Structure 1
């Protein structure tokens, strides 16, 4: 997780066999475009977010290794096999250093290994040299494991899932509700249309006698693909409720994984950061693009060709952009009911294999809550209740409601880390809090959307007065630009409430209640007493000669909360989004 992972100790707090820490998993994801090595700690209670102790990649393309310069299929060479064996032997040493049990080291291979001319000999050579067995996934299982990898990266999933590797592409539908994952009974439908394979196929089609013949061949191939995708859609039997939702919403949500689609996602990110507004989050998991942006293939192809350097997009990936663009166009034309939004996922075979191990009750844990729990003060749950009580329980008639995007999970996470940045100086607390979800303490959490990262970061920053040095203001504005004006206003309000609670409970300990919080929609604001707004009610215990001077502290801070409601501070200015906030402090003989 963010802030750095500590390596597992062999102390009493870890279940240990004579041969290692039984919670650790060493995974080798032997894909078409590269081979990924990782060690993950599956120890409760953080297993839901799949904490990674080490992760790196061997830049060997098994797909390219199976073709000569003329495009003819050839066996995986001895030199490539030897390089992979050497990397596996090094990985075994790293696993031994981390106390990964040998039985928990696993090689998972996909399309490139499955279809290799000398697949059996290649896998036998690895077994002989390393003692490790290559676990080769079938087409349908590869799609299912990939879908689980997608599910690992979100709290709730409902939509179509596509995994674009180098040699193949899989499609299925996926639902995850309360930790229970459902996919098509078929598992998935696989096509030989990986980014590298499709690049090669389109190149072969365009080597005809004339430009007209080339385009005719490509058009015929496009129609074949469209028919295949439509048949796959029908074969997968997408649930009726998912179809009806797509009709209502204007299309299906797509969840996209695999290196080919991740390259497309990073290209979209680059466009947002260089050719548009400064998009502030540079990680692919949880990034979403609406249909219009996702489908702007001609512009993306142009940028990929002309840009000098694109973050996280290698020259190899750039070369595959035309093929991915072709695939995206075919998908847009072939899928019934259209595409509403594309969600990009980091999760793949590695994450899917690990997520498969988890019980549904653990899968259902919210990643933000899991990741922040270790920083929580003992009274975090009670503090969370106070924050939740600062939000009116019902929706106000008209246009004032609390946004569903600021979920209870985000509020709980906020309560967990409410005091984390207190040791920082006044000059750095707000800045550290602002960057906590993108480059700091919580940046490495797996399974959190970009919106949730932006919301939590902005609430945390406001908890420290919302005061930033000039050079950080632009980053805050960029985070705010990813949200609606309504969401931004509530982040300001909740952050101020969090600071108020820290005044009542400076140590984050509630051994005896000092304050109750309630909120309600109210009228009577403004000079004429006609404006609507929000009334925050703070009940404190009546104490004679209170040495804590709680009422004075709350009255002082209440001015900061009222500022959030001042029209000049509304999001977008006086005619923007906001509401007046009133605060009532009352003393009672006893607190509930």
Structure 2
């Protein structure tokens, strides 16, 4: 996402080098207020240099990192140094972080010394526990709320921890030790599995990993309240990060019930226990991709596809060694994101990414009056446990993000408004925002599309249907259309936003009523001031009533929806 600021302040720029086992990631981010919570990325590049592979001979013997590999690393570092200079990143704001492959290299000291001599940067090696802690903070940065177990699968090692971060809290809770590190990274597991298959000792390898995972879990001392919450939810949520797990997630995405899956980013992707453990199907898909019997899977390189059998072994062992896992969330956050997130002030960590991302493009600084109107357009009272539980779905924070974007596409031509709004969370203004759930991306996109009348071209119909299939309840789909129509009504009265001078133009109040046939009706009372033309407003209000027509219900006349009546009166009445 583009950072909307008057001028970029170099003091807030951060250059990060994440030197992992399977590749080296270079990035420049800005922590400039007010968008520092989402850590906008200004530049990123990955050098596909495997420091893990470079340390093994063809016979499997451990060897030093060779000169050719070191030269390739230094070349990529020099390129990034030039890039940092072009972006005016202060030298003191550039950090090089190294993990397992560098930490355990035979010639680690020489390797780091040559980097220092070439570019002048020290290489900070993260100890095992610190690597786990930083990785866990990367996961914490990836979603608005976290509560469960965390695993980070790198190339050389994997870390297990637990994490709790409430959406309205500044605190991020995790074990004091950070995490337990185990030598079962994707690349390391691939090598171990290949050796075990040759020797016929796969069962022994499986038992070794299971025992290590069980021991790691016991050492974490999971808080009683976290275990209790997991028991009530039917199992833990398992949050996964790291390239090996992301590869697994992309294969699962390709096999999702919603096909083609409409959201390309892995961060925030969710699957249930059954889908996560479909190892045979995942291995078959990866094998087909490798053999080119099928098209190459999206975001799955040959290297990642080749590692799938090893990851499948780890996934199966996790199912045996860990307590019941109910659902799995995939996270993009890793060492880079964790390092940046750790540097943020506590109150910034507590901010919600979706709200932070939309504030810079809002028509007005304070969205509260708009959000108040949207909330007033739905009947008050609790809906907990009801089939139409709109209160738990359309939270104030979600409505604030929606309100911030109500007028964003007004500059587009009428032909583009609805379709640009529909794509806003996947290839538009919010596509690159870090920390957003897939469910939230679908809700905001569909609400904005409805706000602009849902007039999309045939080429976008399948995409819209795919987004709708990610919404769990048909009642929620109906409410999306209703709130979109209400937003269009509000925007017609306040085309430049609500100010102190005009905030009395419109008042809304919603309640449940009965029509002459004793059928339930959502009654929306709208009071308008004298400077609002009642006839013109009535035409706009009719658009809200149309959502209540049975032919517009979800599933048609026999489907899901509410009848809607809009009662328009003058404020003075």
Global fold match (TM > 0.5)? yes
> Is the 1:390–1:517 Cα contact (8 Å) retained in structure 2?
no
Deviation at 1:173, TM superposition (A): 0.1
> Is the 1:158–1:253 Cα contact (8 Å) retained in structure 2?
yes
> Is the 1:504–1:514 Cα contact (8 Å) retained in structure 2?
no
2:554 to 571, 574, 585: 571
SS at match of 1:26: strand
Give the match for residue 311 of structure 2.
324
> Is the 1:570–1:577 Cα contact (8 Å) retained in structure 2?
yes
Give the match for residue 558 of structure 1.
541
Using the TM superposition, name which of 92-101 and 483-492 deviates more.
483-492
Give the match for residue 27 of structure 1.
16
Q: Does residue 1:457 correspond to 2:440, yes or no?
A: no
Cα distance in 2 for residues equivalent to 1:396 and 1:42? 39
SS at match of 1:427: helix
1:153 to 128, 131, 142: 142
Give the match for residue 365 of structure 1.
351
Mark the runs of 5 or more structure 1 residues left unpaired by the alignment.
16-20, 209-213
Give the match for residue 536 of structure 1.
524
Q: Does residue 1:270 correspond to 2:258, yes or no?
A: no
Q: Does residue 1:478 correspond to 2:462, yes or no?
A: no
Using the TM superposition, name which of 449-458 and 222-231 deviates more.
222-231
Task: Let me know the Cα RMSD of the aligned residues.
Answer: 1.7
1:581 to 548, 564, 571: 564
Cα distance in 1 for residues equivalent to 2:96 and 2:34? 26
Deviation at 1:396, TM superposition (A): 5.6
Q: Does residue 1:50 correspond to 2:14, yes or no?
A: no
Give the match for residue 211 of structure 1.
none
Q: Cα distance 1:575–1:334, how it changes in 2: closer, same or farther (>3 A)?
A: farther
SS at match of 1:341: strand
Give the match for residue 282 of structure 2.
300
Deviation at 1:471, TM superposition (A): 1.4
SS at match of 1:183: coil
Give the match for residue 201 of structure 1.
192
Q: How does 1:168-187 map to 2 (within 5 A)?
A: 168-177=157-166, 178-187=169-178
> Is the 1:396–1:521 Cα contact (8 Å) retained in structure 2?
no
Mark the runs of 5 or more structure 2 residues left unpaired by the alignment.
290-294
- Superimposed CA distance per residue, residues 299-331 of structure 1 (whole angstroms, 9 cap, x where no aligned partner): 110011113301110000010000000000000
TM-score (norm 1): 0.92
Give the match for residue 18 of structure 1.
none
Deviation at 1:346, TM superposition (A): 0.7
- Superimposed CA distance per residue, residues 261-312 of structure 1 (whole angstroms, 9 cap, x where no aligned partner): 010011111222xx85321111101111111111100011001111330111
2:511 to 493, 504, 521: 521
> Is the 1:391–1:518 Cα contact (8 Å) retained in structure 2?
no
- Superimposed CA distance per residue, residues 312-366 of structure 1 (whole angstroms, 9 cap, x where no aligned partner): 1000001000000000000011112x11111111110000000001011101111
- Superimposed CA distance per residue, residues 51-88 of structure 1 (whole angstroms, 9 cap, x where no aligned partner): 01100100100100100111111000111111111111
Q: How many residues align?
A: 562
Using the TM superposition, name which of 80-89 and 350-359 deviates more.
80-89
1:75 to 64, 68, 83: 64
Deviation at 1:119, TM superposition (A): 0.8
Cα distance in 1 for residues equivalent to 2:387 and 2:468? 21
Q: Cα distance 1:399–1:81, how it changes in 2: closer, same or farther (>3 A)?
A: closer
> Is the 2:493–2:506 Cα contact (8 Å) retained in structure 1?
no
Q: Does residue 1:285 correspond to 2:267, yes or no?
A: yes
> Is the 2:258–2:469 Cα contact (8 Å) retained in structure 1?
no
Using the TM superposition, name which of 36-45 and 404-413 deviates more.
404-413
Q: Does residue 1:375 correspond to 2:361, yes or no?
A: yes
SS at match of 1:199: helix
SS at match of 2:296: coil
